[in-house]
Amino acid sequence: MKAKQWIAIGVAASAVAVLTALATPIVAGTFRTTASVNAVFQVPNPEPDTTNTVLAFDTFAGHDLVNLALGENLATVQTNHLLALEINCDSTLARLVVFDTGLLSNIVDIAGSTNIYALTDQADPNHERFVMRMAVNTNGFLIGGFLTVSGRIYLNPTNGCPRAILVDSDRGHDKAFGDAVIKDGDGDSKDKDKSIAGEAHLIGVANVIFEEAGGSTSTNVTLLPSGQMTLKRQLLP
Cα angle value 110/108/165 (rounded, 5°): 75
Cα angle value 122/123/128 (rounded, 5°): 50
> Residue 10 is which amino acid?
G
With pLDDT > 70 as the criterion, what percentage of the chain qualifies? 84
Is the Cα dihedral 183, 195, 116, 171 positive or negative? Answer: positive
What does the pLDDT read at residue 49? 67
Average pLDDT over residues 26-55: 85
Closest CA to 232 of 34, 8, 15, 22: 34
Cis peptide before 44 (omega within 30 of 0): no
Q: Using CA atoms, how far apart are residues 145 and 204, in angstroms rounded to an integer? A: 7
Q: Using CA atoms, how far apart are residues 93 and 177, in angstroms rounded to an integer? A: 22
E strand or H helix at 16, and its extent?
A: helix 13-16
For 98-141, write each residue's pLDDT tens digit.
Answer: 999 999 999 999 999 999 999 998 888 899 999 999 999 999 99
For 196-231, write each residue's pLDDT tens digit.
Answer: 999 999 999 999 998 776 677 889 999 999 999 999
Please say if the pLDDT value at position 48 is more than 90. Answer: no
Q: Using CA atoms, how far apart are residues 100 and 32, in angstroms rounded to an integer? A: 11
Residues 97/80, Cβ–Cβ less than 8 Å? no
Average pLDDT over residues 80-90: 95
